[in-house]
Amino acid sequence: GAVVSQHPSRVICKSGTSVKIECRSLDFQATTMFWYRQFPKQSLMLMATSNEGSKATYEQGVEKDKFLINHASLTLSTLTVTSAHPEDSSFYICSARGSKSRYGEQFFGPGTRLTVL
Amino acid sequence: DAKTTQPNSMESNEEEPVHLPCNHSTISGTDYIHWYRQLPSQGPEYVIHGLTSNVNNRMASLAIAEDRKSSTLILHRATLRDAAVYYCIPRGLRANNLFFGTGTRLTVIP
């Protein structure tokens, strides 16, 4: 398989601060990366899709000015939650698709649990 | 995207086979049927996919109905490590996104 890492795995921050989450494809080139959010006992919800070197495409209802996504290289995408509030507390998961995706499958990171106090 | 229906939860005894059903009656002719699973507090992982024929890999088998309106993921011998939420996702091969439904939460009983 292909390996995707996320950092940090867990973060606690104060309301009003910004938090950056990194997603890296460790052993393949990721032409497309995806960011999902998952609230407790709910399913994953796609937030945005980004292609390397292009602006991200956000799903309806996701504020692009609040959730800044950068996909500057074929192995790294970042999600910055700006001016975080308690309602942004969630499990954020990235996935990547690229040179190891024989059938278009996505490889997921382990997730980042964000708690905003 | 095709709508899917899966049981909310299922239980299995350890080392017994498990059949996880999925109905996808509105699937289009070019959609592949993908299965992913999500272990507790982890990101999802790819399990298997197929188009028309039954498929086997080291993790599971996928049985697809002849009319493609349903499929069944088969775990031949459930282990405690298979306890997870299993998602059935019809998807075009070139489609960008994966849309996760509610999935089936599998509990494996020792």
Nearest chain A residue (CA) to B35 = A105
Nearest Cβ partner for B93 among A94, A103, A108: A103
For chain A, what's the residue count? 117
Chain B residues within 8 A of A40 when measuring between CB atoms = none
Per residue in B87-107, pLDDT (tens digit) is 999 988 667 778 899 999 999
Predicted confidence band of residue B1 (pLDDT cuts 50, 70, 90) = low
Nearest Cβ partner for B102 among A43, A49, A104: A43
Per residue in B48-70, pLDDT (tens digit) is 999 998 999 999 999 999 999 99
SS3 sequence of chain A:
CCCEEEECCEEEECCCCCEEEEEEECCCCEEEEEEEEECCCCCCEEEEEEECCCCCEECCCCCCCCEEEEEEECCEEEEEECCCCHHHCEEEEEEEEECCCCCCCCEECCCEEEEEC
Which among B19, B20, B15, B21 is positioned nearest to B77, based on CA atoms? Answer: B15
